[in-house]
Structure 1
Amino acid sequence: MRVLILLSLLGLAFATEDVFLNFAKEFNKSYKDGKDLISRRAIFMNNYEKMVKHNERYEAGLESWAQKVHEDMDLTSAEWMSKRTGGLPLYDEKTEFVDTLDERIVAKLKEMKGTPREFSWTDSGAVTSVKNQAQCGSCAAFSVIGAVESCFNIQRGKVIDDLSEQHILDCAYNHQVSDESGTWGAFGCDGAWPNAYVDWLMGKNYNQIESAYPYTSGSSGQVGSCKASSNGAYTDAWVTGMYNVWYCKESDMENLVMINPVSTSLQATDNWGGYSHGVMDDRMCCDAATDSSCIYNLNHAILVVGFGHDTASGLDYWLIKNSWGSRWGESGYMKLKRGTGHCGVGSLHQTIPHC
């Protein structure tokens, strides 16, 4: 009601820019007062004008991807980055990690003879529905649960679409794996390494189903105490191993993703908020193939579910399942340029579970 009153009072002033009014209505926006509304409108219009210019370049064949109006279009770049990234614990060039190689997956990789030009687990129904992490830095949890769901579907033939992310956020909180060479951990909404969650699940910690353990951190930005129950446990399949490599080659994901969707990390910039369709070639991103420091700029975990070639742009791409809801991108998915370690994708780690 508050936003409707404010919009009515200021409607005449905004009559020529009703794109903002449409945006506020479509995304059910609420602003604390008229000053806040005017400020958000100015931010929105600046972002909107950038989108229009970008799409003009796209239509002229000068860009490989298009933009669209999105729910965060009234945020500044810094605000968007704070909301949508930061899902990895802090690390730098001094951080050391240790590979964990499940020999069953290693054997499968050795048996593979080349890869096709295009492949996607979405074609066989092995990829589960898109979720929304919202206000919590829980991207690693969503990436891992997506990989585990697909693993169950592929390896066991047990179709399960919605295991609980909140379960591992709460119950695996502060779980760490350490040895003489490396340490990695899971810290709830403050970020996590995907392999820490998989390692925790390997300890016969059965997944919980979403209906029994629903996601709450998206609105609160907090994790809670562990509430796992035997009634909510999914026991038809479980995680028995893990293949996790660090400081890897992007191209290695081609064979790995044909075994199971791959949890990995990348550098998301504020360009990503408005991604609509096409192959993302982000000028703000680093390329790991030519920039050795690129892997130290990563801030977001995603799930790679396939790869292909886009004839319109002439670019190869990775097909990525994100955790920003189904209204983002192409129904929650993105095509990201493949072949240069773009945005650092697949260059720091590649992780899949064995089920």
Structure 2
Amino acid sequence: MDLKVLIVFGFFIVFVESNLTFKNWLLKYNLNYRTNSPEFNRERKQSFDVSVAFVTVNKLKYNFEYELGLNGFADVPFQQFQNSFNGLILPSDPSQRGSLITYKNFTQILPNLVGITPAAPASVDYRNYSLPVLNQKLCNSCWAFSTLSAIESKLMMKNSSFKTPLSAQSIVDCDTVNLGCSGGWPTKAFNWILQNNGNGVPSADAYPYYGYQMKCRNVPKIPVNLKAVIQDYTNGDEVKMKDIVANSGPIVVAFHVTSYFQLYSDGIFYDPTCNTKCSVVNHAIVIVGYGTDPVTKNDYWIIKNSWGTSWGKNGYGFIARNKGNQCNIACWAIYTT
């Protein structure tokens, strides 16, 4: 079929489907625009229509190995999504972007961290050592959520009875080296917990999340007992990254979010439009495993996001592995001992 005909056909489907599905979509995600201005309502509906067109045309035009869908962000313009749901900020000092190991009283800069042995198995999956996926809301706090998710997993691996979510709000409010809802860098958050916060974090029940920055409150902390924080500048080396995940558990990584990733639903995500420079990253996620699809034989990373369970596969996703450092996922490995 001619591409122009295909696109016209796609937009015809869009016109019919968008009006039929918009009300159902609002009900599914329990959204109500009545309290907002008519202009806001129109803008959201227009953005939803753009998402419907985007999903429909891409399904017709491309044979993706992954699925796009009308998730809970389908009414958010991509530019606003970038500005409100990410939050990763690279350190301004280039020396702080390299390989580092931080202890309680000092940080050591390491030119090259040696790869971890023993050799990694063919696949690992730490999702059983992960607490429920959360939603950072309209706050650029991915750096806080990813940091705490990695710490929670480490605590669960040491003690199977640990089931207490840690407070991302306390990190957003109290961390003095990052910028709250304006963004941050996970290594700085790990180091702040280790060196300045008594090596502990309040529970999410004691210090609940609101999605905006508030005045820091002093509440009792749960000891997390970090011994050291490691930032390994892996520079796209996915074999080394695999070894780290296999032998250290879930790790925080930097990522470059595109419009395709916003509406990702399932399957192994691969976007050839992603930037390939490690300096171009805008989001922090947690790698919780890796494997290979038994049918396609394509390798993938398993990632945990902080955009709630409407995104991806109940908040998790699969990213292409050994395919050119997809969206810069293998530039940094940040984790604790």
Q: Say whether the fold is shared (TM-score over 0.5).
A: yes
The counterpart of 2:214, out of the listed 184, 205, 224, is 224
Sort the Cα spacing of 1:200 and 1:22 in 2 relative to 1 into closer, same or farther, 3 A.
Answer: same
> Is 1:304 aligned with 2:287?
yes
Q: Residues 3-42 of structure 1, C-alpha deviation per residue, up to 9 Å, x if partnerless?
A: xxxxxxxxxx999822122223323131534444334323
Measure the CA separation in 1 of the matches of 2:142 and 2:280.
Answer: 16
How far, CA to CA, are the matches of 2:61 and 2:16 in structure 1?
A: 27
TM-score, normalised relative to structure 1: 0.79
RMSD: 2.6
Letter aligned with residue 257 of structure 1: V
Mapping 1:74-93, distance limit 5 Å: 74-85=75-86, 87-89=87-89
Give the letter for the 2:325 counterpart.
Answer: G
Instruction: Show the counterpart of 2:47.
Output: 43
Is the aligned partner of 1:254 residue 2:233? no
Secondary structure of the residue aligned to 2:139 is coil
Going from structure 1 to structure 2, the CA distance change for 1:100 and 1:270 (only over 3 Å counts) comes to: same
Cα distance in 1, alignment partners of residues 116 and 186 from structure 2: 26
Q: Distance in 1 between matches of 2:292 and 2:116?
A: 25
Are residues 1:214 and 2:208 paired? yes
1:127 Cα offset (Å) = 1.4
Alpha-carbon separation, structure 2, partners of 1:338 and 1:15: 35
Task: Report the secondary structure of 1:296's partner residue.
Answer: coil
Q: 1:310 to 1:16 in 2, by over 3 A?
A: closer
Deviation (angstroms), 1:54: 2.5
Equivalence map 1:29-108=2 (5 Å):
29-30=32-33, 32-56=36-60, 62-85=63-86, 87-89=87-89, 95-97=94-96, 98-101=98-101
Q: 8 Å contact 1:310–1:317 — kept in the other structure?
A: yes
> What secondary structure sits across from 1:346 in the alignment?
coil
For residues 110 and 71 of structure 1, the distance between their equivalents in structure 2, rounded to whole angstroms, comes to: 39
Tell me the distance in 2 between the aligned counterparts of 1:16 and 1:57.
19
For the 8 Å contact 2:164–2:203, the answer to whether it is kept is no
Q: Which amino acid aligns with 1:22?
A: N
Separation in structure 2 between the aligned mates of residue 63 and residue 15 of structure 1, nearest angstrom: 21
Give the gaps of 5 or more residues in structure 1: 1-12, 176-185, 288-293
Residues 1:72 and 1:15: Cα distance change in structure 2 (over 3 Å): closer
SS in 2 for 1:96: helix
| Structure 2 alignment gaps of length 5 or more | 1-14, 104-109
After superposition, the Cα gap between the structure-2 partners of 1:38 and 1:192, relative to the gap in structure 1 and judged at 3 Å, is: closer
Percent of aligned pairs sharing the same letter? 24
Shift of 1:110: 6.5
Deviation at 1:89, TM superposition (A): 2.2
Partners of 1:131 and 1:69 in 2: CA distance: 19
Q: How much does 1:57 deviate?
A: 5.2
Structure 1: 4+ residue segments shifted above 4 A: 13-16
d(CA) in 2 for partners of 1:205, 1:224 = 22
Could you state the TM-score of these two structures normalised by the residue count of structure 2? 0.83
Residue 209 of structure 1 deviates from its aligned partner by: 0.6
Counterpart of 1:275 (choices 250, 260, 264) is: 264
Q: How many correspondences in the alignment?
A: 307
Return the alpha-carbon distance in structure 2 between the equivalents of residues 254 and 51 of structure 1. 32
Q: CA deviation at 1:240?
A: 1.9
Contact 1:68 1:276 in 2 (8 A): yes
The corresponding residue for 2:168 is 165
Evaluate the alpha carbon distance shift between residue 45 and residue 202 of structure 1 in structure 2; reply closer, same or farther with a 3 A threshold.
same
